Amino acid sequence: MRAPTGVLHPTDYWARIVGGRWLILAAAILAGVVGALATLFVVPTHYSATSTVFIEIPGPVSTNAALNGNRGALVRVDSYAQMAVGPDNLARAAERIGMGSPTALQGHVVAIVSPGAAVLDITATADDPRTAPRMADAVADSLADLVATVETDGAGGAHAQIRGLDPATGATGAAPSVTTGVVAGVMVGALWSVVLLLMFDVGGGRIRSRGEVARIVGESVIEDTVIDDEERHHDVEALVR
């Protein structure tokens, strides 16, 4: 369907705003990309390492004892996950590896429970690939000591124990994505370019010339205006006669 004469199409608004200002659009996008890439070099690579432990319930060797022990371990595993990243355990772990501040590990360790199992994955994140495994193992060892203190039965035994399953032997790095940075830079640059172009457009005020009107809405508007002026002129002459 053809738009009525004089009605602006969305592309006309875009042409009105952008006009010959493509250099501003390109410069803003380029600046956004350069800024994003520069940020990637500043942001450090983070390394993570995981130490896996499981919960053991001591008891006689029998089928019933094993089933009861498994149920007891599953009941405790969520509580132990919270204990692992609690301030008390993290302070013990920090002291164990000589990190100085008792709060040095806070915000750098997470404990995730394996679904349907009494297994706990303790993951530590650090800027140094050698530090992350030490942090994860220290938290796991400190948790074992803490559980041994809490779960004692008073007769030298324990209701539950933390056993190491897979210690943290190495760290994996997670560097910022270059592709993500470039895409984000393009989007930010495009947004800023639109803001700048709108500022230029508002500051530019009204349409200043007949030629600009013709470029935006088409020559037909001008032709219709001329015809209307001529018709009004003829109507005035007819009234005078």
- Name the region of 44 (left: φ>0; alpha: ψ -120 to 50; beta: rest): beta
- Which pLDDT score, from 0 to 100, does residue 113 have? 95
- Domains within the chain, CATH numbers bracketed: 20-43+176-191 (no CATH), 46-174 (3.30.70)
> Average pLDDT of each block of 10 consecutive residues along the chain (241 residues)?
53 56 68 66 76 87 74 90 94 90 90 93 92 94 92 76 88 65 68 67 51 52 49 50 54
- Which pLDDT score, from 0 to 100, does residue 43 have? 57
Separation in Å, CA 101 to CA 92, 93, 136, 215: 10, 11, 17, 69
pTM (two decimals): 0.56
- Which pLDDT score, from 0 to 100, does residue 226 have? 47
- Which pLDDT score, from 0 to 100, does residue 128 have? 87
- Which pLDDT score, from 0 to 100, does residue 68 have? 79
- Which pLDDT score, from 0 to 100, does residue 9 have? 56
Cβ pair 32, 186 in contact under 8 A: yes
- Which pLDDT score, from 0 to 100, does residue 215 have? 54
Q: Helices 219-240 and 210-217: crossing angle, nearest 10°?
A: 120
Adjacent-strand bridge partners of 56? 161
- Which pLDDT score, from 0 to 100, does residue 180 have? 66
- Which pLDDT score, from 0 to 100, does residue 52 have? 95
